[in-house]
Amino acid sequence: MDQIVISGTGVFTPEESITNKELVKAYNTYADIYNSTNKSDISQGNKVALELSSEEFIYKASGIKNRYVMDKTGILDPNIMHPILKKRSNAEPSILAEMSVKAAKKAMESAGKTSSDIDAVITACSNLERAYPAISIEVQELLGIKGFAFDMNVACSSATFAIQAAADMIRSGSAKTILIVDPEICSGHLDFKDRDCHFIFGDVCTAMILENKETANSNNSFEILSTKCVTQFSNNIRNNSGFLNNAKKSTPLDRDLLFMQEGRKVFKEVVPMVSQLITDHIKEEKINVENIKRLWLHQANKSMNDFIGKKVLGRVPEDHEQPNILQDYANTSSAGSIIAFSFYSKDMKSDEIGVLCSFGAGYSAGSIILKKIS
């Protein structure tokens, strides 16, 4: 069987960032204005007063201290509370494609590849900027890549599902070298007026190069030993934004057109689902859990990752065994586990094994077992 490797990764990080302190100040100002404006209705029980947020609340709930964003001005304006992005003409690169190209160039450099070496592009992310043409085809054009390209969306599991799809395509012979990009502007689907979730997401883009082991010349390649994906329908994480909104007479201010979740239910249901997925996957591949040296988990919530890591390893993981980038990047949907992998894989020794795992809306979860080969 062909040995498929991830031979390069790249991360594009936006220039602007928002600390918890900045975010709390903006939200609390908005809440104070709302409570003052609606004082009469609140006193009569017609409306509920908004509870203030705090840095302590955010960190305890998530483990997040900071997030990178494509625009902080609009987010921190109590009268706006969302990013403000310039509308581009059709002749200009879309913002997702622009982010993707920047991350892709880093991944190509780390893999020692040029555009002529790549024959397929997959854009895998939780929110696509438009219905068509595909963002991936635009990325392909901007990079001068021949072959084919397509977009895919499995929410927070988009990147790991794309790895399985790309590996399968390489094994089948439909492509030899594949570029995967994961552009995530999660700040665009977040309700910054909602205390329970205003702190969760950040923006970023990651990229990966997948190819046959024989053609890889990178000094940090990982063989894909096995992939395992699972889905189970749930409404507990949902976003109803789509092309039928106009037909349904939805308005841009409708709350269900942004990220929504039943946090406690998600925690209760997803943690055992993901723990079992990884545990079963390791057993199926006849790998002793003691040989798992690294867990690159989806960066959604520190408590979730701590529980999953303990369940899988049978003990509390050491910091280096389960790297956490949440404190700096927040939840970046499909890109989170790839950031952790990109930043915390170079120190691993030859033949050491790790598990890359994502999980999220759907529910969906993807487990990728990787072995360091160079």
Residue 272: C-alpha distances to residues 6, 266, 268, 348, 354 (Å): 28, 10, 7, 28, 20
* Residues facing 222 on adjacent strands: 6, 372
Amino acid at 142: L
Q: Which listed residue (125, 156, 205, 229) is catalytic?
A: 156
Determine the average pLDDT of the residues in 284-307: 96
Per DSSP, helices labelled H in the chain are 20-37, 39-43, 55-62, 95-111, 135-143, 158-172, 263-284, 302-313, 326-329, 336-343
Average pLDDT, the chain: 96
Q: What is the token pair recorded at 284?
A: 């199926």
275 within 8 A of 308, measured Cβ to Cβ: yes
Residue 349: C-alpha distances to residues 100, 160, 322, 368 (Å): 29, 23, 16, 18
Please report where in the chains the tokens 């109803």 appear, as a residue: 240
Q: Residue 48 — very low, low, confident or very high, per pLDDT cuts 50/70/90?
A: very high
Determine the average pLDDT of the residues in 305-325: 96
| Full set of structural domains in the chain with CATH | 222-372 (3.40.47.10)
CA-CA distance, 332 to 197, in Å (whole number)? Answer: 14
313 pLDDT above the threshold of 70: yes
CA-CA distance, 172 to 336, in Å (whole number)? Answer: 28
Residue 363: C-alpha distances to residues 216, 267, 358 (Å): 34, 12, 11
Determine the average pLDDT of the residues in 314-332: 96
139 within 8 A of 194, measured Cβ to Cβ: no
* Segment 67-120, tens digit of pLDDT: 999 999 999 999 999 999 999 999 999 999 999 999 999 999 999 999 999 999
Statement: the pTM of the whole predicted model exceeds 0.85:
yes
12 pLDDT above the threshold of 90: yes
Please name the residues in contact with 250: beta carbons below 8 A apart, sequence gap of 6 or more.
240, 257
For position 1, what pLDDT does the model report?
Answer: 59
For position 228, what pLDDT does the model report?
Answer: 98
* Segment 20-38, tens digit of pLDDT: 999 999 999 999 999 999 9
Q: What is the token pair recorded at 320?
A: 């280096």
Determine the average pLDDT of the residues in 289-297: 97
Whether 205 is a known active-site residue: answer: no
